[in-house]
Structure formats: structure tokens, C-alpha cells
Amino acid sequence: MRLQLPLFPADCTLISNCLGVYEKDDLVQYIVNGLPVYAHPKGDLKAFRYITSNFIHQRLCRKVEVERCFHVSEDSVQRAYKKFVEKGEE
């Protein structure tokens, strides 16, 4: 089975009505209502899973919005969110 990597947009793209993301110089930046809240290196999948799961948990976006924005599978978002809920930041 091949790992499906997230695709990060170069221009600012809205994940939900208050949450956006963009990539610049191999750094992925997340913004909430226009303010930067998280950033991680483009290749850091662990940080990507943690941050997007955290946004879902805070109800800033839905799982389906993460799937559509980053072109990742429903299963990968479900697994990451379940792990986040069970283990937290670990």
C-alpha cells in the first residue's frame, strides 16, 4: 500500500470558513481568522496529523474538509483523529 501524502497549496486556501493554510519556503502555515496559529516543515507528517486533528477536535473544521483540502484519504484522517483523541499530543 502506498502512502498518500498531503498536498499543501502555495497560495492561501481555505479549509473551512475560518481556517486557512498555505506553504512557503517548505514551511506549511495554518491561519485562523487571519492570524497564524501553527506551522510545520512540509515533510513533517506527524505534525500535519496532529495539527489537523486538533482543528477537527476544536470544531474549526470537519474531517471531510481536511480530506478535500489536502487530498488525503478518509481512513488516514480517521486514524489520525482517533489517535489524537486517545493519546493527545504524544
Q: Tens digits of per-residue pLDDT, 18-62?
A: 999 999 999 999 999 888 999 999 999 999 999 999 999 999 999
Mean per-residue pLDDT of the chain = 90
For strand 35-41 and strand 13-14, is the pairing parallel, antiparallel, or unpaired?
Answer: unpaired
pLDDT at 44: 94
- Residue 7 pLDDT level (bands cut at 50, 70, 90): low
pLDDT category of residue 9 using cuts at 50, 70 and 90: low
Residue 58 amino acid letter: Q
